[in-house]
Amino acid sequence: MEIGSCIRLQSGGCPTSYLTRASGFYEQSVSTVNRTSGVSSNVMFPRKSCICKATLKEANNNIEAVKVKPSEFTAEMELSSLTAISPLDGRYRTKVKDLSRYLSEYGLIYYRTLVEIKWLLKLSQIPEVSEVPSFSKEAETKLQGLIDGFSEADAIQVKNIEKITNHDVKAVEYFLKTKCQEDPEIAKVLEFFHFGCTSEDINNLAHGLMLKEAVNSVILPVMDDLVTAIYTMAKANAHVPMLSRTHGQPASPTTLGKEMVIFAERLSRERRDISQVEILGKFAGAVGNYNAHAAAYADVNWPQVAEQFVNSLGLSFNSYVTQIEPHDYMAKLFHSFIRFNNILLDFDKDIWGYISVGYFKQVTKAGEIGSSTMPHKVNPIDFENSEGNLGIANALLDHLSMKLPISRWQRDLTDSTVLRNIGVGLGYSLLAYKSALVGIGKLQVNEAALNKDLDNSWEVLAEPIQTVMRRYAVEEPYEKLKELTRGKAVNKESITEFINGLEIPVEAKKELLKLTPHNYVGVAAQLVEEACLRANARA
C-alpha cells in the first residue's frame, strides 16, 4: 500500500471529519485560538502530518473512511513537561529552570531591553549630543523601571510586535517607543533609542550579560557544591587504604581519599579558569568603524564612549570588530566548560567502576526501583545520567566553540541561530552536575570490600622490596621479584620468606616486614590534607 493512502486515525490524528484519498492538503480547515495572543486562525493540515493506520478490504482494497470525534485530537498541543521536545524543558525542567531567566528567549529580550535603555541614558550624558539632554530624576526612574519591572507580559508584547516587523531587535525598539511615548520628556528623544546601532551591538551585549549572569548566579554555585562534595569525600577517606589499578591490574595501594582529591583539585582548577574568562562586548556600529556615529556627531570620541558604555555594563571592551563581536571569548569559555565536564565524566566513570567492584554501596530510598526485573539491584543511575548528559553538553559546546568564531567577511547570520543554543549546552552541563551531586550523596564506603582486595594482593609489595634491594646493591632486584610474583600466588608468608632471605641490613629487613598492602600507601593521606587546607584557604 502507498504511504499516506491509509485512513483510520489513531488518537492525536488530523482534525477532519472525513478523510479522502486526495493528495496534498485536506480542504477542511480547523479554527484554532492561540492561548497566548488570543488570535484565531484557520489551520490546514497536510496529509503527511497524520498519524495513520492502514486498513485493506480483502476483496477490493477499498479505503475505509472513519469519522473522527473532536475529542480525539488537539490542533495545537499546549507546551508542558509532557509535550516539550527538549527534555530540558520537559522531564528535567525543575532541575535547570534557574537558567530560564537568563538563557531563554525571555532572557534575551530582557537584556536587549536593558541595553537599549542604558544606551539612551548614556547618550544623555554626552554634551555634544545636545538633542538628548540630561534626563530628570523622574525620567530616569521611568526608564529604569522598564528594566526592573520587565515581565513575561512585556516579552510577549515584544514577540507580538516581532510578528509584524519580522525583526527581533527592532521589535524591542518599537516596544520601548510605545512604552515611553506618553512621557513628555522621553517622547522627545524616542528616535535616539537604537541610535547608531546595528542589531548586533545590542545582541552581543545581551548575550554577554546573559552568559555572565547565568554562569555567576546559577552554574558556578553548583560547580562549587560539586567540588566541595568531592573534597569532603577526600578528607573523610584520607586514611582509607585502597588497591590501585593501573591498566586494570592490581598496583601500588593508595587511599580512597587521595583518589578523590585528585578530581577535586582538577575540577577546582577548571572552575577557576571559567570564572576568569573575560566576557567581551562591542558597540561600534554596522561594520565596527562607528560610521553612522561619526556622520552624525563627528566631534565625539565614539570609541571612547563605546568603551565606557560596555564597561558600565560589567563587560570588557573589544575595540577591533566587524559587525559582530567575534565570539572568541565564548569559544574560550565553552572550551573551559568542556574541560571541566571531561574531568567530571572521568570521575563518573571511576565511581561507576568502584560501585561495580563493591568499593561503594549506595543508600537506598524506600519505594525506588533499581531494575524492573531484578529486585536486588541498585543501579548507579545518577552517575550514568551525569555521564550521558555531559556527552550531550560537550557535543553542543564543542560546536559552539568551533562555529561561533567563524563569520564570512564582515558578518553572516549563521551565528544568530547557533547562539540560541547556549542555554542548551549549559543546561545539560548543569543537569549533569546536579545528577553527580545526587549520586555522591548516596555513596557509602564499603571498607570490607576494600580490605578484601588488599588482603588478596600481597604481590604489590614487590615494588618497595625491589626498590630497597637497589639501595643496598643487591644484584638484579627487579628480576628476582619478577620471578617471585609474576603468574604466581603471592601471600604474606611467601613475601616474609623472601624478605628474610635477603642480604640486606637487619633494620632494613624489619622495615620491609612491617609493610602490608594496607599500610603501603606512601604519603597519600598527607597529600589529601594539604589539598584540603589549600581549598579552605581559597574559599
Q: Which residues are catalytic?
A: 247, 371
Per DSSP, the three-state class of 444 is strand
Tell the residue number behind the cell numbers 562555529, with chain if given: 403
Listed in sequence order, the residues at least 6 apart from 77 whose beta carbon sits closer than 8 Å to its beta carbon are: 83
Element (H, E) at 428: helix 422-442
Q: Cα–Cα distance between 397 and 393 in angstroms, integer?
A: 6
110 HSE (CA, 13 A, CB side): 19
Question: What are all long-range contacts of 265-268, with beta carbons under 8 Å and residues at least 24 apart?
Answer: 265/531, 266/343, 267/223, 267/226, 267/227, 267/230, 267/340, 267/343, 267/344, 267/347, 268/227, 268/535, 268/538
What's the CA gap between 198 and 210, in Å, rounded?
A: 19
At residue 352, the 3 state secondary structure works out as: helix
Tell me if residue 319 falls in helix, strand or coil: coil
Q: What three-state secondary structure class fits 33?
A: strand
How many Cβ atoms from other residues are within 10 Å of residue 291's Cβ? 15
Listed residue (183, 214, 233) closest to 111, CA to CA: 214
Q: Report the SS3 class of residue 433.
A: helix
β pairing state of 40-43 and 30-33: antiparallel
- Measure the CA–CA gap between 517 and 503, rounded to whole angstroms: 23
d(CA 22, CA 45): 13
Facing residues of 8 across strands? 53
Cell of residue 358, nine digits: 563493591
Residue 318 amino acid letter: N
User: In the chain, how many H helices and how many E strands?
Assistant: 21, 10
